[in-house]
Amino acid sequence: MTYTLEFDGETLSVDAADTLLRSLLRAGHPVVYGCGSGNCGACRVRLVEGRVDAPPTSTLSPAQQANGEILTCRARPLSDLSIESVTPTATDPVTLDGVITRVERPTPDLVKLRIRLAGVLDFFPGQYGLLRTPHGPARPYSLANPPGQGVVEFHIRAVPSGKAGTKIYEHAKRGDPIELTAPMGDAYARDLRGPIAMIATGTGMAPMKSLLAHLVQREYPFPVRVLWGNRKPEDAYDVASLEGLVKGLADASMQQVFSAEAGGSRVTDHLDGLAPSLLGWKVFCAGNPSMVGEVSQRVALMGVAPHDFFADPFTPAED
Ligand SMILES: Cc1cc2nc3c(=O)[nH]c(=O)nc-3n(C[C@H](O)[C@H](O)[C@H](O)COP(=O)(O)OP(=O)(O)OC[C@H]3O[C@@H](n4cnc5c(N)ncnc54)[C@H](O)[C@@H]3O)c2cc1C
Ligand code: FES
């Protein structure tokens, strides 16, 4: 079954079984989006007329919900619709052109990109951007460098048969043009005045590296504990530079764990070792979605308040 969707004056046909985002992308309509899974808020629009099926979300603030805003990546049409773009706020993403200036392949399935942007990108450590390269569909990737630099860094995993990661790993080269829509996500550092735990698997280390570098720049005096899980030691990357950042802090340590080693373990096996209690701690967590879900429940039991838990589950895109 199809309905009619009017968006900022343009009319298109949308399938009742599809999210509005998928229909818009299929129609080639220029839309801003990020995670594709209801977590970042980048795809919000205002519903002017009609009804949608949209699950309840805490991604939109009560004020945004009262304004009739919906997430196109979660909403499916229940009638003909009219929607409009919302007025951008200071924290909304901007789209910048850029050029790849450095490509490194530190492991057989991980590529690091350095990118010079055509403008200055304002962001907080922990945020991410939607990166479009000539080698595949746009995907959200975490910003791995601290803010305030003319370049940005990404750590990209080539997941088997991945439409974006594998192609970037195989083909990215110096001089490639890119487009970046950023910053996105609200798992970012704010109001930092106490102990911090960072828990990551795989390239979930990218936003942690950004945060660590930011803390070093600030000469952060409070305890910082980093727990990083990979399958095998050879999957870990940037270890020397991460250890250098950890050493640059007053009271910090990093523990690496490996799940596919004989006698190996997962980050979730080591949460109790972070500190006797996590009361008053802020916890940043990124990587595998099921790990993020488990950590969120466990650290809550160890005393972490919901507003002190900042999570970036690397949910796979839907296209
Ligand atoms: C907020 C956010 C931040 C992110 N930051 C990063 C980052 O900094 N670095 C990074 O590498 N990725 C990051 N991701 C994940 C990234 O956006 C892609 O989803 C992922 O790289 C797979 O994209 P692809 O096109 O290569 O694979 P796809 O073509 O989307 O997927 C191919 C197949 O692999 C499966 N798959 C997808 N991801 C994984 C995975 N991680 N492990 C195993 N199988 C998988 C899919 O379900 C599918 O079957 C982030 C995701 C989000 C939502
Ligand atoms: S919330 Fe819709 S794209 Fe992220």
Give the model's pLDDT for residue 89. 63
In terms of CATH architecture, what is 196-313?
3-Layer(aba) Sandwich (3.40)
Q: Map out the domains of the chain as residue ranges.
A: 2-85, 94-184, 196-313
Pocket test for ligand 2, best of 71, 181, 186, 318 (most atoms within 8 A of CB): 71
Residue listed under structure tokens 């629009």: 45
Give the model's pLDDT for residue 195. 97
Question: What is the percent of the chain where pLDDT is above 70?
Answer: 97
- What is the C-alpha separation between 43 and 141, in angstroms, rounded? 16
Any idea which ligand is nearest the CA of 155? 1
Q: Give the chain's radius of gyration (CA, Å).
A: 20
Give the model's pLDDT for residue 131. 95
Tell me the per-residue pLDDT of 3-59, one tens digit each, with 9 for 90 and over. Answer: 999 998 889 999 999 999 999 988 888 777 777 888 778 889 999 999 999 998 888
- What is the C-alpha separation between 258 and 267, in angstroms, rounded? 8
Using the atom order of ligand 2, give the atom closest to the CA of residue 38. Answer: 1
Residue listed under structure tokens 């043009």: 177
Tell me the per-residue pLDDT of 247-288, one tens digit each, with 9 for 90 and over. Answer: 999 999 999 999 998 899 999 999 999 999 999 999 999 999
| Cα-to-centroid distance, 127 and ligand 1 (Å) | 16
Q: Which letter does DSSP use for residue 14 in this model? A: E
pLDDT(244) > 90: yes
Task: Identify any residues that bridge with 83 across adjacent strands, giving them in sequence order.
Answer: 7, 47
Count of C-beta atoms within a 10 Å radius of residue 170: 12
Any idea which ligand is nearest the CA of 285? 1
- Looking at per-residue confidence, does 173 or 193 come out higher? 173
Residue 14 near ligand 2, beta carbon < 6 Å: no
Given this structure, which CATH class describes domain 94-184? Answer: mainly beta
Does pTM top 0.85 for this prediction?
no
Give the model's pLDDT for residue 122. 85
- What is the C-alpha separation between 179 and 129, in angstroms, rounded? 10
Give SS3 for 267: helix
Residue 39 near ligand 2, beta carbon < 6 Å: yes
Average pLDDT over residues 140-144: 95
Cβ partners under 8 Å of residue 52, min gap 6: 20, 70, 75, 76, 77, 78, 81
Give the model's pLDDT for residue 83. 95
Tell me the per-residue pLDDT of 55-110, one tens digit each, with 9 for 90 and over. Answer: 988 888 888 899 899 999 999 999 999 999 886 665 678 889 999 999 999 999 99
Residue 313 near ligand 2, beta carbon < 6 Å: no
pLDDT(116) > 70: yes
Identify whether the C-beta of residue 183 lies closer than 8 Å to the C-beta of residue 32.
Answer: no
Tell me the per-residue pLDDT of 191-226, one tens digit each, with 9 for 90 and over. Answer: 789 999 999 999 999 999 999 999 999 999 999 999
| Cα-to-centroid distance, 25 and ligand 1 (Å) | 19
Given this structure, which CATH class describes domain 2-85? Answer: alpha beta
Residue 146 near ligand 2, beta carbon < 6 Å: no
Residue 147 near ligand 2, beta carbon < 6 Å: no
pLDDT(173) > 90: yes
Give the model's pLDDT for residue 54. 94
Give the model's pLDDT for residue 42. 80
